[in-house]
Structure 1
Amino acid sequence: MICHGQDSIAGLIIDLVAGRGELTDAAWGRIEPLLPQVDGRGRPWRDHRQVVNGVLGRLRTRAPWRDLPERYGPWQTVYERFARWEADGTWAKLLEHVQVRDDAAGRVEWTVAVDSTVNRAHQHAAGACTRGTWTGTNRKIRSTRRRARHSVALGAGCDHQGPSRRRLPLSIVLTPGSVNEATAFADVLKGVRTPRAGTGRPRTTPDRVLGDKAYSSRAIRHLLRRRGIAATIPERRDQVANRRRRGRRGGRPPVFDTEIYRDRNVVERCFARLKQSRAIATRFDKLANRYRAGVVLASLILWLREAAR
């Protein structure tokens, strides 16, 4: 068989990895009751599991939508279902449901490590229409200077879970690649919101936040102190020198536990697991909302895999 062009090669790759990254029976059993059901009006929907596996296959191999294998059905159906469930919040609801169940079972420790990673955008991510869906996160990413359009920063708050010491994302925030990660800290912290399994307000306050020196600022420390959240963030050298230069007026150094800080680098493992999906490691989506939906779906798979351990 002769393949012509990069798109054909990508389609061949996704055929060769049939079954990799697709939903297991246990994972499908957890999310199937939460998916939209047929109401008896109009044409029946194509099998949800087939479509979701098609979306996962595209995330795993970064193949263009048009090159999805026939076993997933028409590529238009897969893409439209993916876009529709991004717009109505279905993907986010699935992730929230899994987090709620794990929190109710006591599997979430609420020690949150915060960091960000910059993912380059492929040339096919350019050229999105500026009308209609160009609002919210899409406009925020687009409105920065030209160089920032070539990358997107993925900020995440990850929670420790299980004896394997892997971390799973609790909050996902997209920013332009040129924006300082500390400016998105408040949005990442705001995204930590897990409803209760029964009655009561959602859990929005971690017990502790771990961050590197990029998050060592007076505003961030004040925000955490005001909300009663312990902080394990090292000081930058210039901050230490400035405090010592001022003597007594410089105040006491912030409390810092080196043993607890050793767990902060586990957030890098979270990013590494997310980037196993090639469509996450490199941005191919034209709209930031579509890219974020892919990150949410990849996070959902990580939570489902951890729950099956």
Structure 2
Amino acid sequence: MLSREDLTDGEWAVLEPLLPVSNNRCGRWRDHRQVMNGIIHRLSTGVQWRELPERFGPWKTVHKRHLLWSADGAWERFLQHVQAAADAEGDLDWNVNVDSTSVRAHQHAAGAHEPASRPTWLLKGGATKVSSPACAHDRAAPAGGGGAPGEALGRSRGGLTTKIHIVTEGRCRPLSLLVTPGQRADCTKFELVMDKIRVPRTGLGRPRRTPDSVGADKAYSNRKIRAYLRKRGIRHVIPEKKDHKAARLRRGSHGGRPPGFNKDRYKDRNTVERAIGKLKQFRAVATRYDKRGYVYLGTVTAAALLIWLRS
């Protein structure tokens, strides 16, 4: 009998063709479905890897499989495959919304003193190495210690935190994800998380990277972001900050026109808040236990994959 965390037959039918048959080193992989269920159990409960129930097999196997798929970008490829299938069926709403959320890091997430990198032993046997670590955009170490540079750990009032930047489509499902230190401003990572949108075509053609419109709150209201969206031809709904509006009015005719704002479209921004709520139903996402930034990004991406499979 399946528990609430295990993959259903329908979900497994979607994932099974994407998984490798052999590992090019020691023959066939251990039962992928058993290992995937172990990873999902850990996502849902936040349990320590070594405390996984015996029915999922050796905990080291489950742990290493998650590390490998986080290191070589497999979780992201699985997510893009599910997104592509939904887009081909017309089940993907390209009116997207952007936001971020802070996550408290457990004390076990601190203490990674070596520079951020993917371990070479995970990338042997034909795995594809990703060009840069998940958090290469934030090289500064968190103030007061707490981890190596590039591990997406930062100091905030509540202690060590990580921030998840997320773009969601109109049905509360994540399109792209990025993790940074918790003190990073939302607007500084807007372009990076938008550039990570990549939904492959099921037939011929380049992956789709441009949404129909973008909604965001006042944290993203600045000239650089508006110029970026205009350059890409993306309509946006971002409210203007009061001080920006006052400065524009003081300049009179030289202040330019006010940015367009559609109140009805802005109401749909709640989809990103609801998607964040769905992600944080997974305890391994709501509290960060992973030391490495790329592993935590894999954890969040695996949770996003389950949201798509079960939506």
With the shorter chain as reference, the TM-score category is 0.7 to 0.9
Following TM superposition, by how much is the alpha carbon of 1:169 offset from its aligned partner in structure 2, in angstroms? 0.5
Give yes or no for the alignment of 1:295 onto 2:279.
no
Q: Secondary structure, in 3 states, of the residue corresponding to 2:93? A: coil
Give yes or no for the alignment of 1:220 onto 2:225.
yes
Find the aligned partners of 1:138 and 1:246 in 2 and give their Cα distance. 40
Q: Secondary structure, in 3 states, of the residue corresponding to 2:173? A: strand
Report matched runs for 1:131-150 at 5 Å: 131=115, 133=117, 136-138=133-135, 140=137, 143-146=140-143, 148-149=154-155, 150=160
Give yes or no for the alignment of 1:74 onto 2:79.
no
Residues 1:133 and 1:246: Cα distance change in structure 2 (over 3 Å)? same
Q: Which has the higher helix share?
A: 1
Find the aligned partners of 1:136 and 1:274 in 2 and give their Cα distance. 22
Moved more, 65-74 or 80-89: 80-89
Moved over 4 A (4+): 138-142
Deviations 1:266-303 (A, max 9, x none): 21100000000001001000001100001111011111
Match of 2:162, as an amino acid? V
Q: Secondary structure, in 3 states, of the residue corresponding to 1:96? A: helix
Aligned-CA RMSD value: 1.7
Match of 2:220, as an amino acid? Y
Residues 1:43 and 1:259: Cα distance change in structure 2 (over 3 Å)? same
Q: Secondary structure, in 3 states, of the residue corresponding to 2:254? A: helix
Following TM superposition, by how much is the alpha carbon of 1:199 offset from its aligned partner in structure 2, in angstroms? 0.8
Q: Secondary structure, in 3 states, of the residue corresponding to 2:169? A: strand
Find the aligned partners of 1:195 and 1:304 in 2 and give their Cα distance. 17
2:169 aligned to 159, 165, 184, which one?
159
Find the aligned partners of 2:23 and 2:33 in 1 and give their Cα distance. 18
Find the aligned partners of 2:303 and 2:105 in 1 and give their Cα distance. 18
Residues 1:39 and 1:131: Cα distance change in structure 2 (over 3 Å)? closer
Residues 1:237 and 1:96: Cα distance change in structure 2 (over 3 Å)? same
- The alignment's TM-score, normalised by the length of structure 2, stands at 0.87
Give yes or no for the alignment of 1:264 onto 2:269.
yes
- The alignment's TM-score, normalised by the length of structure 1, stands at 0.88
Deviations 1:105-155 (A, max 9, x none): 111121110000010100010112405737733565562432625111100
Match of 1:90, as an amino acid? A
2:246 aligned to 231, 241, 245, which one?
241
Following TM superposition, by how much is the alpha carbon of 1:45 offset from its aligned partner in structure 2, in angstroms? 2.4
Following TM superposition, by how much is the alpha carbon of 1:201 offset from its aligned partner in structure 2, in angstroms? 1.3
* Identical columns (%): 48
The answer to whether the 8 Å contact 1:192/1:204 transfers is yes
Residues 1:132 and 1:152: Cα distance change in structure 2 (over 3 Å)? closer
Following TM superposition, by how much is the alpha carbon of 1:22 offset from its aligned partner in structure 2, in angstroms? 1.6
Match of 1:194, as an amino acid? V
Following TM superposition, by how much is the alpha carbon of 1:92 offset from its aligned partner in structure 2, in angstroms? 1.2
The answer to whether the 8 Å contact 1:157/1:171 transfers is yes
Residues 1:40 and 1:236: Cα distance change in structure 2 (over 3 Å)? closer
Report matched runs for 1:29-48 at 5 Å: 29-38=13-22, 42-48=26-32
Give yes or no for the alignment of 1:111 onto 2:95.
yes
Deviations 1:31-72 (A, max 9, x none): 001101137873432211010010110111111111001000
The answer to whether the 8 Å contact 1:138/1:287 transfers is no
2:73 aligned to 46, 69, 89, which one?
89
Q: Secondary structure, in 3 states, of the residue corresponding to 1:171? A: strand
Q: Secondary structure, in 3 states, of the residue corresponding to 2:164? A: strand
Give the total of aligned pairs.
284
Residues 1:79 and 1:245: Cα distance change in structure 2 (over 3 Å)? same
Moved more, 37-46 or 100-109: 37-46
Deviations 1:6-43 (A, max 9, x none): xxxxxxxxxxxx71222111000110011011378734
The answer to whether the 8 Å contact 2:135/2:179 transfers is no
The answer to whether the 8 Å contact 1:51/1:78 transfers is yes
Find the aligned partners of 2:115 and 2:179 in 1 and give their Cα distance. 20
Find the aligned partners of 1:169 and 1:151 in 2 and give their Cα distance. 21
The answer to whether the 8 Å contact 1:119/1:154 transfers is yes
Residues 1:140 and 1:120: Cα distance change in structure 2 (over 3 Å)? farther
The answer to whether the 8 Å contact 2:71/2:295 transfers is no
Q: Secondary structure, in 3 states, of the residue corresponding to 1:152? A: strand
**Counterpart position of 2:109:** 125
Residues 1:123 and 1:114: Cα distance change in structure 2 (over 3 Å)? same
